[in-house]
Structure 1
Amino acid sequence: MALLSAGYGVSHTKYTFLSKQLNDLGYMVVAIGHELENDPPLSVAGNLYETRRENWMRGAETLDFVKHNLAPTYKKYNFNDLLLIGHSNGGDISSWLANDGKDYIDTVITLDHRRVPLPRRDDVSVLSIRGSDYPADDGVLPTKNEAKEYGICVTAIPESRHNDMTDYGPEWLKDEITHVIANFLNGTGCRVDS
Structure 2
Amino acid sequence: MKSNTLHIETLIEGCKKEDRLSQQALYDQYAPVLLGLCRRYINVLEDAEDVMIEGFYKIFSNIRQFDGRGSFEGWMKKIMVNEALMWIRKKKLIKVELNEKWPIPQEDMDLQNFELRGSEVIPLLDQLPVGYKTVFNLFVMEEYKHREIADMLGISINTSKSQLILAKKRLKEIVENKKLKNLKPII
With the length of structure 2 as denominator, give the TM-score of the two structures. 0.29
Which is greater in Rg? 2
Bigger proportion of residues as helix = 2
Structure with greater strand share of residues? 1
Q: Which TM-score applies when normalising by structure 1? A: 0.28
